[in-house]
């Protein structure tokens, strides 16, 4: 088959698309797999664009100005389009630790590579602290086409500022103010900047990832020969350096801050450790030791590119690199990195271009994501970098050391160095590292290995002042000491050996030979040959014996003949060069995967040797899948795509059709779930499904829209209009569910077809869910489908439906609501369509009594905020339930009595059971304090809160927040605990349930094992018949039923149960007696006011509760 040196990551007409299946690349290849497309246009379905996000949600504003809400687990829970973008569509896809929200107008820009996918990975954005609570802008790197740029004035007029000029990549670091919405997005993608912009990147994060270690590298021999890096400028781009440490005193020539920190002080400690490994004097070493650096004569240039927590922006790193070469650095140490992605990112580009322009050598950590293949990080993945892996003191590869190939299939790392338990200087204010001696700490990582190599490079730069980075790199890799039976994708040429490097007269160009990937099957592979040129700087000729060896990732030798060299003997003249040819022949052997090794050149006496790394990937059994997309007229569909999900492997990717509707992709042999999508200009689409397609040979499939069936649903009420529709697919093979949701304005714009062999119901199911409304009536219809998942036609009659009366109360005046009713899916729910209106609201819902469970989310919204959006004030969420035929139901929400709840039954999707648990000696508690009278789980904004826990009177914690899942450590022995909660909310938001307090006492001791033990909390729930305003008539007797939830559920088991009532806002209390252990009879004063309730109880085990609900309900005339 044809030789492919670099995996192709874009689909091209009649050109194959290779799918990289090494872990880091696979995750990125999955970036925009099959997902949810949410429309926010027109009528009720547009409610998504106008609904405010809950205050309890974590939100992140996209570069487009659209705002996304996520829950604590990172699941997308809401999307609000930016002003002026109402009607835009969103694709939402969640899998493999990623959550992508991509507006429709960003899709083509992602497809053609103009926009960085990371800008829409909202879960990653929150993890990187880009969410709205932690920063007010979106950090970008904007690069331009050659000879063009966008002016600072244009950025300013679009609500953005230029933070840094990045000439090395012809770009700018830009900060787009979130408050300006979509202004910058419009400028860069469709306005004045569109013709100039090459790519819009997220200004992503990079992170920081010597006694015996320095001798291990052979540096003392160089010192004895008079080479200690004297006068060589080495830049340390890191977290800063503690210039006051004795080992680093008077060694710094210049320093500059490029991070978000206030100054260059090293409060992390990472940079100081790195700098002293390079150039530390060892002055503070304890007696009998010497913690000196590899090149103690070197001069340091300190660029602080990582903040006080050890992370920084990519733009700051690039700016630091530019500064370093401007300051005359011969060597630049970068013990930092991030996740590599296919293609050349801005930092990789800066490494390559600055290396070529300045001659500096960038020595960069490989990363700490081993031992899996394909984990080398960026910018260590840059071709020009000298990329460093880590070994321990025995020269064994550190398990954490990242392995190649890179995301683009290149051979990395280049070299290794000691990186385990490295002792070096401790920054005075540093927090990293384990104490090793006074003024020193121990750290492990490729961050620690890298400065050993940077120090070695400084020694060579002193010895050979005329050498540029490539020659230094060649000498270091040629002279490295290999770890036996280890692939070059793990170690490069081996561990740095300074003793040999300073005498190395024989080097090779290139320093590594990567032969890319040879496609399956290998019986017809063609050998690939590459030249390697040896340079001899000695005074006499050398005759070399050439030999190759290679190993798989498992350490087993590669097949004989995989790599050969010709000639086997070569003479290189003094001061001259000679060339040999290495051939990779993947026809030999049967094993598949990556194979890396070395070409060794040595004289007969072994006095002169040089090593060059070799690598090739022998593709696993794979085939071409060609997909032809045809529209409803049978013509080639250019606006089409097929989503491909591997049922037997990690492949998850999109293939986008070319103009002729055809795309070819290279995939490993296996089973796949396929979804072809053919789009129409009106927003409709035809979806072709093959939930379990087996790829066993080169195959051509036709995604023919004419094979799809329409979805035609007729509801009983002719005036009812469609308000949203959803098609949900779930494939579950090997117990690894894969789900996709297609959202449409109505079923009229979606068609579904299925082809291929029938799939059992246990392996593939679908749900069709549609909403139709007319005035206050909603038809919420859902069908589960198995077998044939295609579209269908159905006329629904009134007597087939179950009626639900939905009542949403309003304790306060002038409030609005957003109501979402969702059918429960096996893996959660997707439903962003809501019903909005003014509170109180009464409506009617009709559902099918077909066993599908539904749950409701009812929000209360206040006055608009400064941006004109309604203010979220609280939410009540029902437990999921199915509705039976022949019955009528009433669902009540947001009506008192509001109070704490510990429900025992089914919970809303994603909710953990409220209460308090202990695992070992870890205490965790979450208690909703404002659940409504119907028992719906409630959350609410609050004006003040306090939670505390004491053990035998000693404080464990006291925080100014409700109990919401935080964990705390308890003493192991048996103690008596007192848990207090107290939360208040503004009367203007809710004049009832204004304050809830509860105090529990219980005993607890260490819980063995990993299973949680629920702690004995009990609450009292009240369910009087109140109006929608949570009121009762003054001067009358009201029956107030009550029930217990939590540890005690039966009144008869209690030792004590007492109630008190207050009619004056809690100033005075009077006891009241329960009737038959079931209810209270409360006669309120004739004068309207509030009624507060207090309960005290002791359960059978002596655990107690004192619970007070202030303003449980109001009385009116």
Structure token pair of residue 516: 């890319």
Q: Are 34 and 740 in contact (CB under 8 A)?
A: yes
Structure token pair of residue 580: 């040999």
Percent of the chain with pLDDT over 90: 79
Burial grade of 1004 (CB within 10 A; 0-12, 13-18, 19 or more): buried
Would you give the distance in Å from CA 151 to the centre of its chain? 33
pLDDT at 357: 96
**Cα(813)–Cα(113) distance, integer angstroms:** 51
169 and 241 in a single domain? The answer is no
**Cα(828)–Cα(101) distance, integer angstroms:** 18
Does 190 have pLDDT greater than 80?
yes
Query: In Å, how far are 892, 897, 1020, 1041 from 1038, measured between CA atoms?
Result: 19, 13, 18, 10
198 and 213 in a single domain? The answer is no
Percent of the chain with pLDDT over 70: 93
Burial grade of 252 (CB within 10 A; 0-12, 13-18, 19 or more): middle
Query: What are the tens digits of pLDDT across the range 241-288?
Result: 999 999 999 999 999 999 999 999 999 999 999 999 999 999 998 877
**Cα(246)–Cα(415) distance, integer angstroms:** 31
DSSP run (H or E) holding 459: helix 446-463
* Average pLDDT estimate for 497-520: 95
Does 128 have pLDDT greater than 60?
yes
Out of 156-165, 319-328, 652-661, pick the least confident.
Answer: 652-661
Structure token pair of residue 884: 């039976």
595 forms beta bridges with 552, 616
Which candidate, 498, 460, 470, places its Cα nearest to that of 232? 460
Q: Into how many domains does the chain fold?
A: 4
**Cα(93)–Cα(70) distance, integer angstroms:** 13
Q: Do the domain assignments include residue 564?
A: yes
Q: Which residues are catalytic?
A: 238, 270, 447
Per-residue confidence at 683, pLDDT binned at 50, 70, 90?
low
Query: What are the tens digits of pLDDT across the range 966-1013?
Result: 999 999 999 999 999 999 999 999 999 999 999 999 999 999 999 999
Per-residue confidence at 89, pLDDT binned at 50, 70, 90?
low
3-class state of residue 152 by DSSP: helix
- 37 or 685, higher pLDDT: 685
3-class state of residue 934 by DSSP: coil
**Cα(730)–Cα(762) distance, integer angstroms:** 10
Q: Do the domain assignments include residue 28?
A: no
* Average pLDDT estimate for 801-823: 95
**Cα(830)–Cα(527) distance, integer angstroms:** 52
C-beta neighbour count of 676 within 10 angstroms? 31
Alpha helices in 648-779 (DSSP H): none
Q: Do the domain assignments include residue 693?
A: no
270 and 348 in a single domain? The answer is yes
Out of 66-80, 84-98, 183-197, 800-814, pick the least confident.
Answer: 84-98
989 and 1009 in a single domain? The answer is yes
Three-state SS string across 34-51, please? CCEEEECCCHHHHHHHHC
Residue with tokens 């400084």: 458
> Exposed e or buried b for every residue in 599-626, given b needs 16+ CB within 10 A?
bbbbeeeeebbbbbbbbbbbbeebbbbb
Structure token pair of residue 920: 């070992």
Last-in-domain residue among 567, 588, 618:
618
Residues contacting 971, CB < 8 A, separation 6+: 921, 951
Give me the domain span that covers residue 302: 206-462
936 and 1080 in a single domain? The answer is yes
**Cα(724)–Cα(159) distance, integer angstroms:** 35
Burial grade of 325 (CB within 10 A; 0-12, 13-18, 19 or more): buried
Which candidate, 916, 904, 1095, places its Cα nearest to that of 1004? 916
What is the chain's mean pLDDT, rounded?
Answer: 90
What single string gives the DSSP state of each residue in 845-914?
EEE--SS-EEEEEEEEEEEE-TTSPEEEEEEEEPPPEE--TT-EEEEEES-SPPB-----S---TTPPPP
C-beta neighbour count of 588 within 10 angstroms? 17
291 and 429 in a single domain? The answer is yes
Q: Are 851 and 884 in contact (CB under 8 A)?
A: no
Q: Do the domain assignments include residue 755?
A: no
Does 1051 have pLDDT greater than 70?
yes
pLDDT at 96: 65
Q: Do the domain assignments include residue 608?
A: yes
pLDDT at 460: 98
Q: Are 614 and 488 in contact (CB under 8 A)?
A: yes
3-class state of residue 841 by DSSP: strand
Structure token pair of residue 1051: 């009144």
Which candidate, 495, 577, 607, 588, places its Cα nearest to that of 550? 588
297 and 349 in a single domain? The answer is yes
DSSP run (H or E) holding 980: strand 975-984
199 and 324 in a single domain? The answer is no
pLDDT at 78: 72
402 and 529 in a single domain? The answer is no
pLDDT at 412: 97
Q: Do the domain assignments include residue 392?
A: yes
Beta pairing class for 609-618 and 593-602: antiparallel
* Average pLDDT estimate for 393-415: 95
User: CATH code at 533?
Assistant: 2.60.40.2310
390 and 244 in a single domain? The answer is yes
Which candidate, 1009, 998, 1013, places its Cα nearest to that of 1105? 998
Per-residue confidence at 46, pLDDT binned at 50, 70, 90?
very low
365 and 407 in a single domain? The answer is yes
Beta pairing class for 415-418 and 386-391: parallel
Q: What is the pTM of this model?
A: 0.81
Q: Are 663 and 656 in contact (CB under 8 A)?
A: yes
Last-in-domain residue among 595, 618, 641:
618
Does 296 have pLDDT greater than 70?
yes
pLDDT at 638: 84
Does 546 have pLDDT greater than 60?
yes
Per-residue confidence at 58, pLDDT binned at 50, 70, 90?
confident
Q: Are 636 and 661 in contact (CB under 8 A)?
A: yes
Burial grade of 686 (CB within 10 A; 0-12, 13-18, 19 or more): buried
Structure token pair of residue 260: 């978000």
User: CATH code at 354?
Assistant: 3.40.50.200
> Exposed e or buried b for every residue in 1021-1032, given b needs 16+ CB within 10 A?
bbbbebbbbbbb
Does 31 have pLDDT greater than 60?
no
Last-in-domain residue among 203, 223, 253:
203
Per-residue confidence at 951, pLDDT binned at 50, 70, 90?
very high
Helix count (H) and strand count (E) of the chain?
15, 74
pLDDT at 15: 30
pLDDT at 216: 83
Does 38 have pLDDT greater than 50?
no
Residue with tokens 């309900």: 1113
290 and 340 in a single domain? The answer is yes
1002 forms beta bridges with 977
Query: In Å, how far are 567, 582, 593 from 616, measured between CA atoms?
Result: 21, 12, 8
């Amino acid at each position: 088959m044809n030789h492919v040196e670099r995996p192709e990551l874009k689909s091209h007409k009649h050109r194959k698309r290779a799918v990289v299946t090494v872990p880091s690349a696979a995750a990125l290849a999955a970036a925009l797999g099959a997902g949810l497309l949410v429309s926010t246009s027109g009528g009720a379905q547009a409610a998504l664009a106008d609904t405010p996000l809950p205050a309890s949600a974590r939100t992140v504003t996209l570069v487009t100005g659209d705002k996304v809400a996520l829950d604590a687990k990172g699941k997308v829970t809401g999307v609000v389009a930016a002003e002026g973008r109402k009607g835009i569509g969103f694709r939402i896809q969640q899998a493999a630790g990623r959550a992508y929200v991509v507006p429709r107008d960003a899709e083509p820009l992602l497809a053609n590579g103009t926009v960085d996918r990371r800008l829409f990975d909202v879960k990653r954005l929150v993890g990187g602290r880009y969410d709205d609570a932690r920063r007010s802008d979106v950090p970008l790197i904007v690069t331009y086409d050659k000879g063009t740029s966008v002016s600072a004035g244009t950025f300013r007029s679009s609500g953005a500022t230029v933070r840094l000029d990045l000439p090395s990549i012809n770009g700018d670091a830009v900060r787009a103010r979130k408050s300006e919405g979509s202004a910058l997005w419009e400028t860069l993608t469709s306005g004045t900047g569109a013709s100039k912009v090459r790519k819009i990147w997220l200004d992503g994060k990079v992170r920081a990832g010597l006694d015996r270690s320095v001798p291990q590298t052979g540096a003392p021999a160089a010192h004895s020969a008079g080479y200690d890096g004297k006068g060589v400028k080495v830049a340390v781009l890191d977290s800063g350096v503690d210039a006051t440490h004795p080992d680093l005193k008077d060694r710094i020539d210049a320093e500059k801050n490029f991070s978000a920190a206030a100054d260059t002080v090293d409060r992390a400690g990472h940079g100081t450790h790195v700098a002293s490994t390079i150039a530390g004097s060892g002055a503070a070493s304890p007696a009998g030791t010497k913690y000196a650096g590899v090149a103690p004569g070197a001069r340091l240039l300190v660029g602080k590119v990582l903040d006080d927590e050890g992370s920084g922006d990519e733009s700051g790193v690039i700016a630091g690199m530019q500064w370093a070469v401007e300051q005359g650095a011969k060597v630049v140490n970068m013990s930092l990195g991030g996740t590599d992605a296919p293609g050349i990112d801005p930092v990789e580009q800066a490494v390559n271009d600055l290396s070529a322009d300045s001659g500096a050598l960038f020595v960069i950590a490989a990363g700490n994501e081993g031992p899996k293949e394909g984990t080398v990080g960026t910018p260590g993945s840059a071709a020009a970098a000298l990329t460093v892996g880590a070994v321990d003191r025995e020269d064994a590869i550190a398990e954490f050391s990242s392995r190649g190939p890179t995301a683009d299939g290149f051979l990395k790392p280049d070299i290794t160095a000691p990186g385990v338990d490295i002792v070096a200087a401790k920054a005075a204010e540093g927090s990293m590292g384990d104490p090793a001696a006074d003024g020193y700490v121990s750290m492990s990582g490729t961050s620690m290995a890298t400065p050993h190599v940077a120090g070695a490079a400084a020694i060579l730069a002193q010895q050979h002042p005329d050498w540029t980075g490539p020659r230094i790199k060649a000498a270091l890799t040629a002279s490295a000491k290999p770890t036996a039976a280890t692939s070059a994708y793990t170690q490069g040429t081996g561990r740095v050996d300074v003793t040999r490097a300073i005498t190395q007269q024989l080097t090779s160009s290139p320093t590594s030979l990567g032969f890319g990937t040879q496609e399956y099957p290998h019986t017809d592979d063609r050998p690939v040959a590459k030249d390697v040129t040896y340079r001899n700087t000695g005074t006499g000729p050398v005759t070399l014996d050439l030999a190759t060896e290679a190993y798989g990732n498992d350490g087993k030798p590669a097949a004989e003949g995989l790599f050969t060299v010709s000639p086997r003997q070569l003479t290189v003249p003094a001061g001259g060069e000679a060339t040999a040819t290495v051939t990779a022949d993947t026809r030999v052997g049967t094993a598949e995967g990556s194979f890396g090794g070395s070409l060794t050149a040595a004289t007969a006496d072994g006095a002169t040797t040089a090593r060059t790394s070799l690598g090739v990937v022998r593709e696993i059994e794979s085939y071409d899948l060609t997909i032809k997309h045809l529209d409803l007229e049978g013509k080639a569909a250019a606006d089409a795509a097929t989503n491909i999900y591997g049922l037997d492997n990690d492949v998850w990717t999109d293939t986008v059709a070319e103009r002729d509707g055809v795309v070819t992709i290279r995939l490993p042999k296996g089973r796949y779930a396929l979804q072809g999508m053919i789009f129409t200009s009106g927003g409709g689409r035809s979806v072709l499904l093959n939930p379990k397609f087996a790829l066993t040979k080169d195959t051509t499939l036709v995604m023919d829209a004419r094979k799809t069936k329409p979805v035609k649903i007729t509801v009983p009420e002719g005036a009812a209009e469609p308000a949203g529709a959803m098609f949900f697919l779930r494939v579950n093979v090997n117990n690894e569910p894969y789900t996709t949701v297609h959202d449409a304005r109505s079923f009229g714009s979606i068609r579904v077809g299925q082809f291929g062999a029938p799939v059992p119901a246990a392996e593939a199911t679908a749900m069709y869910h549609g909403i139709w409304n007319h005035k206050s009536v909603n038809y919420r219809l859902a069908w589960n489908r198995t077998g044939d998942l295609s579209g269908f036609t159905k006329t629904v009659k009134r007597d087939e439906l179950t009626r639900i009366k939905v009542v949403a109360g309003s304790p306060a005046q002038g409030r609005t609501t957003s109501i979402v009713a969702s059918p429960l899916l096996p893996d959660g729910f997707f439903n962003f369509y809501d019903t909005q209106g003014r509170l109180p609201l009464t409506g009617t819902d009709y559902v099918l009594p077909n066993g599908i469970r539904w749950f409701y989310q009812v929000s209360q919204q206040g006055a608009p905020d400064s941006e004109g959006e309604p203010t979220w004030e609280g939410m009540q969420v029902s437990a999921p339930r199915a509705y039976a035929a022949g019955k009528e139901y009433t669902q009540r929400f947001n009506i008192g009595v509001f109070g704490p709840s510990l429900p025992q039954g089914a919970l809303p999707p994603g909710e953990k059971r409220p209460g308090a648990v202990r695992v070992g000696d870890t205490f965790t508690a979450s208690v909703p304090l404002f659940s409504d009278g119907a028992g719906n789980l409630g959350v609410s904004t609050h004006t003040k809160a306090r939670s505390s826990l004491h053990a035998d009177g000693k404080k464990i914690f006291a925080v100014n927040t409700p109990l919401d899942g935080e964990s705390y450590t308890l003493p192991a022995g048996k103690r008596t605990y007192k848990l207090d909660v107290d939360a208040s909310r503004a009367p203007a938001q809710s004049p009832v349930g204004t304050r809830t307090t509860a105090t529990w006492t219980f005993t607890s001791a260490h819980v063995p094992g990993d299973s949680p033990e629920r702690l004995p909390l009990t609450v009292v729930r009240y369910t009087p018949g109140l109006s929608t305003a949570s009121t009762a008539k003054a001067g009358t007797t009201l029956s107030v039923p009550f029930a217990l939830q939590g540890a005690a559920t039966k009144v008869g088991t209690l030792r004590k149960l007492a109630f008190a009532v207050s009619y004056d806002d809690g100033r005075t209390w009077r006891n009241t007696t329960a009737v038959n252990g079931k209810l209270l009879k409360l006669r309120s004063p004739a004068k309207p006011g509030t009624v507060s309730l207090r309960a005290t109880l002791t359960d059978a085990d002596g655990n107690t509760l004192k619970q007070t609900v202030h303003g449980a309900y109001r009385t009116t005339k």
